[in-house]
Structure 1
Amino acid sequence: MIKKNILFVFYAHVPYVPHRDTVSDIAAAPFYDLLSYSLLPFLRMCDRLDTECIPFKCVLVISPLVCEMLKSSFCCDQYVAYIDRHIAFAQEKLTQDLSPAQKELTILHRDRLLRNRDDFIGLYQKDILKQINKFAAKQKFELMATSATPCFFPFYQDMPESLAAQMEFGLSSFRETFEMVPAGFWFPAMGYSAGLDRLVKSYGIDYTILESQSFLFADHPPARGVFSAAVTESGLSVLGKDTGACADVEQAVGGFYTNPHYLDTARDIGFELDEQGLSALFNVEQGRRATGFCYCSRNGEKYDVSVGKAQAERDAERFIANRSAVLEEAASFLDGESLCSVCILPLTFFGKIWFEGMYWLESVLRKIAAMQDMECTLPTEYLKKVRRIQSIEPFYASHLPSGYADELLNSANDWMFPCIQKAVERMIDLAERFPNDQGLKERTLNMAAKEVLLAQSMDWPLMVDAQISPEYAAEQYRDHIAAFTAVYESLGAGSIGTEQLIKREKEYPIFKEMNYRFFAK
């Protein structure tokens, strides 16, 4: 019997947290949530499976910005303070007049916070990346490299120097962080356009993963669709996302996470309590956000933890049955070829949006490990199994909801791109004008390059488009453009503001080994 392959890809990215004396709640909350709801529970799950000798494999994409924050003592100390505030808040809640169900859920959340604190400080010594490297060495994880910041590559194809800089700094960060050579490269938002394969392949990358329409709308659609690998003209292997697998889990209508028995994470007390009730956690005037304290299921009734876990178990069985049926049907038409279903999910989806998501994932991995005709695989392993590989020219696409880039360039945020484009042109000019400078001028040019890379991040236009803290996103974007412009003008005038440079270096201590000259390539 043909062995069916499941390939899980989890990507983790949140906007960078400036290292300022007063850290904005809006700026820091996504990073804290990534640790509390996603990374720490995910590693706990992996530890359990590994201890019990249950085989599991998955692909991880951790953005360089997240890696830099995980290595930053400032961000780690801020996270510990965040946990302590939430633990104290939970203890205070338990002294109030709560119903038995509310008390049980408050204790559950407090205990999870305590485990996060114990693991982060005690078990991992504030070094999560070391644990990730451990699993990668055991070949449980395959780590894909990605660009320095989440830049939408198709927008900058007419500026190859800019894309070269994104690649160089992304790969440099990967080599500094992880104890392996990357075989795969992740395009942010899976944004791909014809010709980008040549750029990636020139850096020694073997494969990438693309959105399904990049495969299916290719010049010669592959005979095996997204269920097998293909290759581009440059020799870059490409795998296609199984849209059905992802839709089973995260589709807004009918996805597993919408089941009425699951915890309604949208009904968080962070959106319901008054300003006084939340003052111990954050300033409501800066915007409300989730706290993790939720008490209702999606059907409006009191949430029952055991019912939620049981539903996660059933959904794990449904997921495996659906993938098995799809792969069996595809195999019946494809003459015995080894087939693969690529399921791609944001790590932030688990816990924060789908509270029971980690229960579901662990159940899926346990059940697949017990099967004879299905297994979890890694891209490099699967590519060795493919006997016949078709050459294609993938189509322009992304995994944004529109399938292309409507969310990045519309009436709400189209004022951003011309400024970024001009800044990139000026950065290329600076790199060509000052090819051999050292000392203070080199530091200044590196800071200018940093500002351009951060301004290219998709975080800002996406936040403005989705109306998620749009004022903050616009402010951050303008801050990076203004900082770059100040450097550009100071270099033209022949004087550099040393105090301002030192201040920015403290606020953005990322990519310490910056080399602005990459913008001249």
Structure 2
Amino acid sequence: MAKNSIGLILNAHMPYIRHPEYPRFLEEDWLFEAISETYLPMLRMFKKLRSEGVPFKLTFSLSPTLCSMLTDPILQGRFTDYLRLHQELGEKEIARCGAEDTECKQLAQMYLENITKNLEEYFETYQCDILSGFRDLEESGHLELITTTATHAFLPLFSEYPSAVGAQVELAVQSHINYFKKRPKGFWLPECGYYPGVEEYLQREEIEFFQLSAQSLVLAEEPVERGNYAPVACPNGVFGFARDFHLTNLVWSNLEGYPTDPAYREFYRDIGYDLPMDYIRPYIHEPEVRVFTGFKYFAITGKGVHKNFYRPEEAKKRVSEHAANFLYTARKKGEDLDKILDRDPFFTLAFDAELFGHWWFEGVDWLEAVLRKAAKSDDITFETQLDYLKRYPESQVLQPSFSSWGEGGYSDVWTDGANVWIYRHLHKAIERMEELALRFPDQSSLKKRFLNQAAREVLLAMASDWPFIIHNGTSANYAEKRLRNHLGNFNVVYENMCKNAVNTEWLVKAEKKNIVFPDIDYNMFNLQSTRNRYNG
């Protein structure tokens, strides 16, 4: 067995965005970009390694909201339209570049080939259901699929609402079983958001491990014996794996991480913004809303306005160099740790999957290079958290500290001056949902559906995406509108149920719009039964 183990966890997540009431919707492009630039290329890369006999193992989290959208017939059809529209643009770009911009023609051809490949695989390999690709890789032992909270809620901000935390965890596990036909053994804590006690909800659902930020162990009351290089066991026996900040930063840092190399492709220079409106209008959103098209011809170059043309051959060299540097750094850390640890070190790395391919165009290629080089080494291996626990079943028992991977290490990102107003309304909605669950337990027929819709709206409002988007100032109006709509929808149910009535017309429309969590049970919010479950 190699001396140094790397446990890579990737979290694939998109907020639940589905607007069948419009023929085309701007924010749905977030999903389509992730599918075409991250999920399909990553599946392609994993299957290529498997077919060539390159050994690898990693942990992959797929959020319930993402799974719901990936299997939704309406969104599947719209993704197909998205690819075909971009295929048309690619053909148009090859002609334009051949006449006006010959240096970009090769890049346009590369993008068109990628789009065509995505179309073929989406239809022929996956029959529009790419979750089957992840299931296949889990069955072959290359991926360990895990889940995350139902709507990617940042749990520390709901620590005083056990019914809401319990619903987020229980529904997530239930959703995972529906999609993958097995109970997940791991759990991705959104934003590495941990607070003491959250492990009780995970244990209830037979979860064995979760990931933590580095400072969660550093700030624990009891000194940690093996640093971030081995898991700790919470007092209830659920294991926490703290990510390695140094190795993570080589990839994650927006100041000096690998993706900032000037040879790599610039994300923000896109023909959707660069080319004249008359030319690009058919491929953006009405009325003349410019968007990213994926056709990008410039390298990062530097911080100035001037950008060099992107050269894939130069980027390919950097990919190989950065992959070698990453493994060299891990190896050197392992040599130093060998002098002080009583076991082989385990380096936990946790990333958003969309970093690879979408934000960092060369990211999937870098990951492939790392896995290939690691497979040829005799001192570094990629293994899952469960594999490591089998080798070392005993761990230090320790209570981790409240933390996150957000700026400042706590909740600043989700509770700043721009978004903190959310929580007085959201907490009140949770309290009222608990009230409804207590007053109207175990309802049937229309009332059950009405109350289930109320629970669905509360959970969707709890998504960490909305305060994060507001914090960043990107699509803030949309995020605020979504929050207000979900809370307003909940209030429709609350006000009607206070009169012991059901608004049937409203209910039918709401159910058709948000079809996520078809098996939801509003009784999850029954505070009395929640206390019985988690305290007894």
Question: Is this a same-fold pair by TM over 0.5?
Answer: yes
**Equivalent pair of 1:25/1:286 in contact (CA under 8 Å):** no
1:193 aligns to what SS in structure 2?
coil
Equivalent position to 2:469, from 434, 450, 463: 463
Query: Take 1:451 and 1:387, find their aligned partners in 2: how far apart are those partners?
Result: 41
Amino acid at match of 2:385: P
SS in 2 for 1:144: strand
Task: State the alpha-carbon separation in 2 of the partners of residues 100 and 332 from structure 1.
Answer: 57
Shift of 1:182: 1.2
Cross-structure match for 1:105 = 107
* 8 A Cα contact 1:3 1:373, kept in partner: yes
SS in 2 for 1:205: coil
CA separation in 1, counterparts of 2:248 and 2:272? Answer: 29
How far off is 1:286 after superposition? 7.4
Q: Is the 8 A contact 2:122 2:128 kept in 1?
A: yes
Structure 1 pair 276/404, CA: closer, same or farther in 2 (3 Å)? farther
Q: Which consecutive residues of structure 1, in runs of 5 or more, have no partner in the other structure?
A: none
1:346 and 2:352 are equivalent in the alignment: yes
8 Å contact 1:327–1:341 — kept in the other structure? no
Change (3 A) 1:281 1:448: same
Q: Which amino acid aligns with 2:345?
A: L
Secondary structure at 1:344's aligned position in 2?
Answer: strand
The corresponding residue for 2:117 is 115
Checking the alignment, whether the CA contact within 8 Å between 1:15 and 1:30 is kept in structure 2 is no
Distance 2:286 2:501 in 1: 42
- Are residue 312 (structure 1) and residue 312 (structure 2) matched? no
Residue identity over aligned pairs, in percent, reads 30
Q: Secondary structure of the equivalent of 1:261?
A: coil
Higher mean displacement: 92-101 or 52-61 = 92-101
**Contact residue 173 and residue 183 of structure 2 kept, 8 A:** no
| Aligned twin of 2:54 | 54
- Rounded Cα–Cα distance in structure 1 between residues aligned with 2:401 and 2:286: 45
Q: Which moved more, 1:92-101 or 1:477-486?
A: 92-101
CA shift, 1:278, in A, is 2.6
* Cα deviations by residue, 1:187-235 (Å, 9 ceiling, x for unpaired): 1111001111222112221111111010111111312100111111111
Following superposition, the deviation at residue 288 of structure 1 comes to 3.7
1:369 corresponds to 2:369: no
Whole-Å separation in 2 of the counterparts to 1:373 and 1:41: 28
Matched, 1:513 2:515: no
Task: Give matches, 1:197-208, under 5 Å.
Answer: 197-208=199-210
Is the contact between residue 350 and residue 357 of structure 1 (CA under 8 Å) also seen in structure 2? yes
2:413 corresponding residue in structure 1? 407
Partner residue, 1:186 = 188
Q: 1:33 is matched with which residue?
A: 33
The CA deviation at 1:21 is 2.9
Partner of 1:290: 292
In the TM superposition, what are the counterparts of 1:170-319 in structure 2 within 5 Å?
170-283=172-285, 287-299=289-301, 300-319=307-326
Q: Who is 1:164 aligned against?
A: 166
- Matched-pair contact (CA < 8 Å) for 2:19–2:25: no
Shift of residue 277 of structure 1? 3.0
Would the aligned equivalents of 2:18 and 2:75 in 1 still touch at CA under 8 Å? no
Q: How far, CA to CA, are the matches of 1:333 and 1:388 in structure 2? A: 18
Give the structure 2 partner of residue 72 of structure 1. 72
Corresponding residue for residue 390 of structure 1? 396
Deviation at 1:287, TM superposition (A): 4.9
Cα shift readout 1:262-282 (whole Å, capped 9, x = no counterpart): 111121122323433332122
Query: Is the deviation greater in 465-474 or in 494-503?
Result: 494-503
| Counterpart position of 1:504 | 510
Give the stretch that moved more between structures: 94-103 or 212-221.
94-103
Aligned to 2:450: 444
Partner of 2:330: 323
- Partner of residue 16, structure 1: 16
- Rounded to whole Å, the distance in 2 between the matches of 1:255 and 1:355 is 14
Greater mean alpha carbon deviation, residues 495-504 or residues 373-382: 495-504
CA deviation map 1:10-67 (0-9, x unaligned)? 1011111224231554320110011011100000001100110111111101100000
Q: Cα–Cα, structure 1 residues 327 and 343, in superposed 2: closer, same or farther, change >3 Å?
A: same
Instruction: Quote the Cα distance in structure 2 between the aligned partners of 1:187 and 1:387.
Output: 22
CA pair 284-23 structure 1, distance change in 2 beyond 3 A: closer
Contact 2:76 2:128 in 1 (8 A): yes
Q: How many aligned positions are there?
A: 520
Contact 1:451 1:484 in 2 (8 A): yes
The offset of 1:167, in angstroms, is 1.2
Q: Which residue of 2 aligns with 1:43?
A: 43
| Equivalent pair of 2:265/2:361 in contact (CA under 8 Å) | yes
8 A Cα contact 1:185 1:207, kept in partner: yes
In structure 2, do the counterparts of structure 1 residues 285 and 323 end up closer, same or farther at CA, with 3 Å as the change threshold?
Answer: farther
TM-score for the superposition, normalised by structure 2? 0.94
CA distance in structure 1 between the aligned counterparts of 2:442 and 2:494, rounded to whole angstroms = 17
Structure 1: 4+ residue segments shifted above 4 A: 284-287
Structure 1 residue identity aligned to 2:5: N
Alpha-carbon shift at residue 181 of structure 1 (Å): 2.2
Question: Do 2:20 and 2:74's aligned partners in 1 also have CA atoms closer than 8 Å?
Answer: no
- Measure the CA separation in 2 of the matches of 1:34 and 1:490: 39
User: Using the alignment, how far apart are the partners of 1:73 and 1:433 within structure 2?
Assistant: 37
C-alpha separation in 1, matches of 2:474 and 2:223: 37
Conserved? CA contact 1:189–1:400, under 8 Å? yes
Superimposed CA distance per residue, residues 362-399 of structure 1 (whole angstroms, 9 cap, x where no aligned partner): 01000111111111101110012226521111011111
One-letter identity of the residue aligned with 1:43 = L
Question: Conserved in 1, the CA contact under 8 Å of 2:33 and 2:358?
Answer: yes
**Cα deviation per residue 1:79-103 (whole Å; 9 max; x = unaligned)?**
0001111111111122222322211
Residue 403 of structure 1: SS of its match in structure 2?
Answer: coil
CA spacing shift, 1:442–1:58, aligned 2, 3 Å: same
1:354 deviation in Å? Answer: 1.0
Between the aligned partners of 1:99 and 1:221, the Cα distance in structure 2 is 61
Q: Which amino acid aligns with 1:313?
A: S
- For 1:23 and 1:460, how far apart are their aligned partners in 2? 24
Distance in 1 between residues matched to 2:483 and 2:268, nearest whole Å: 28
SS, match of residue 172 in structure 1: helix
Distance 1:163 1:296, change over 3 A: same
Contact kept? 2:9, 2:350, Cα under 8 Å: yes
Distance in 2 separating the partners of 1:277 and 1:43: 33
